[in-house]
Amino acid sequence: MFEILKSMMKEEWRSHSTMFGGLMFFLFPVVISIFAFVGTLFLPILKNILPTSQIALLTHYVFVLFGLSVGAFGLFGREVMNRRFGQASMIAYSSRTLPVSEREIFLNFFIKDVIYYFFLWIFPFVAGFAAASPFISISLSYSWTLAITLTLSFLIGLSISFFFSTIYVHSLKLLVGILLFAALLEILASNFLYVNLLESLPSLSFFFSHSTEKIILSLGIIIFLSSFSIIFLKVDYPEKKRRFKNSLDSTASKLKFGRYSFFIVKDFLDLKRSEGGVGKIIFSFLFPLAVLWLLLSVFLKMIPFSDFTVVFAVFLGVISSSMYNWLTEFDLFTSYSFLPVKVSTVIKSKLGSYILINSISLIILILVSLTGGNIYYFLPAVLSFLAVSSYTLSVTVYLTGLYPGTLLYNAKIFLLYFLLISPILLVLIFLSLFNPLYLFVSPLLAFPSFFLLKKSFAKWDDWNQPTF
């Protein structure tokens, strides 16, 4: 088993280093450490706005969100075996030719991802916090505690998402029943037992009060949910071939995207026919978005002059840009290399697909606005969402092309991504705090968005596309 894990670790390094060099991949954690270092230095100022307990809660739930967004392994059991490593790796196919089970391979894949995420995100964050601690008179002992609790928070989020995605693959009705039961328990606990669901996270409780029972509870949740998911993971290869009616021509004729219609239809057919197509939307978008909604509903109560819908719209615009990753994740340009098709043509078709699928985010924003009760700020909320979504997408396309899931781990590209997006978000959020109507200026982001997209098409047409 260790040999498989070691080979997968090397393979992960190879897939990134061949695209942008091992140095840039190695420097990615350094960039995260620098961000954490600078952010920690601002803690004394942040404490004047939020209590320490709320800052700790926010930090831990950021890593829970991170775990939720990457933990939908249950959806990708067969897809990882069939498509993700189909051209980039031979290890995932070893269960077909060697006496190695699919579950053993996927368990190694799961462990490999956990190790990589730890050293790419968690350890650098804690290292940056530890380096800044002496400057703001914080004991270094908090760094050890933070390393433990953030790791547990990430793994809890990951194992929950893994568990639910595995249930989804077996039975959507069972998943809905479990979620409804969990929601009912949360309502009863908060209304009758006065238990705050967010504060009941065992890893967060351990951060404030060290207790062996809380560590055991955290590990128990992680081990149980992950073990269940691994055991019941669907990695079978049915003997019957899956056949579908040819619907490409008929569907493309109904779209009004010109020559991109066939590409767009292909994206949606891929999404529909791949493993857990709709599940990708639920587990990599809706679940994290639900947790974000809970966090904002708690924190914005401490800022009485803020409007929830407007702030939520800004963050929704950033998160919705992740839909572009779904459209490019398993669709390498090598599939089109034998056709008279340019990279820019494929990118433009992905943008068309994104526009259609992003209607989900717009529907969510409308529902949030209706339930929030403040329709007065609905228009600036929608405008800010559309502006942030388009701008974030244009930055993603300019910096990563058809490979956002890989190139964002290039330290230089990630730093540029952060510097191009973060200032815009901060300006819009501060404007919304002063007066949400100020967000009527957000459509001005259309100009840099258009400029970046135009530069992107020329840039990626001249770039040598990687082959694996």
pLDDT in tens, 279-315: 666 666 777 787 777 777 777 766 665 678 888 899 9
User: Are 317 and 395 a contacting pair, CB within 8 Å?
Assistant: no
Spans in the chain with pLDDT lower than 50 = 82-89, 239
A 10 A CB-CB count for 323 gives 22
In 3D space, the residue among 114, 143, 121 whose CA is nearest the CA of residue 29 turns out to be 121
Q: Give just the sign of the alpha carbon dihedral 304, 306, 307, 313.
A: negative
Would you state the structure tokens that stand for residue 246, as one six-digit string?
């040819």
Helix (H) or strand (E) holding 305: none
Q: What are phi and psi of 136, to 5 degrees?
A: -120, 20
User: Are 377 and 440 a contacting pair, CB within 8 Å?
Assistant: no
Describe the chain by its helix, strand, coil percentages, rounded to 5.
Answer: 80, 0, 20
A 10 A CB-CB count for 152 gives 27
Q: How far apart are CA 114 and CA 151, in angstroms?
A: 10
Task: Look up tokens 């717009």; give the residue.
Answer: 362
> How large is the greatest C-alpha to C-alpha distance in the chain, in angstroms?
67
User: Residue 222 CA to chain centroid, in angstroms?
Assistant: 20
Q: How far apart are CA 353 and CA 332, in angstroms?
A: 16
Task: Look up tokens 């579908």; give the residue.
Answer: 244
Q: What pLDDT score was predicted for residue 244?
A: 64
User: Are 36 and 125 a contacting pair, CB within 8 Å?
Assistant: yes
Q: What pLDDT score was predicted for residue 183?
A: 75
Q: How far apart are CA 21 and CA 14, in angstroms?
A: 9
Query: Cβ neighbours of residue 83 under 8 Å, at least 6 residues apart?
Result: 274, 330
pLDDT one-digit tens code per residue, 52-77 = 888 888 899 889 988 888 876 656 65
Q: How far apart are CA 150 and CA 122, in angstroms?
A: 7
User: Are 158 and 67 a contacting pair, CB within 8 Å?
Assistant: yes
Q: What is the 8-class DSSP label of residue 241?
A: P
b/e for 119-128, b at 16 or more Cβ within 10 A? eebbbbbbbb
Q: What pLDDT score was predicted for residue 405?
A: 80
Task: Look up tokens 């809970």; give the residue.
Answer: 294
Domain residue spans in the chain? 1-237, 260-468
Distance (Å) of CA 426 to CA 91, 305, 431: 44, 17, 8
Would you state the structure tokens that stand for residue 383, as one six-digit string?
């405008």
Q: What is the 8-class DSSP label of residue 410?
A: S
Q: What is the 8-class DSSP label of residue 242?
A: P
Q: What pLDDT score was predicted for residue 86?
A: 43
User: Are 209 and 215 a contacting pair, CB within 8 Å?
Assistant: no
User: Are 368 and 294 a contacting pair, CB within 8 Å?
Assistant: no
Q: What pLDDT score was predicted for residue 184?
A: 82
In 3D space, the residue among 466, 367, 340 whose CA is nearest the CA of residue 407 turns out to be 466
Q: What pLDDT score was predicted for residue 93?
A: 58
Q: What is the 8-class DSSP label of residue 285?
A: I
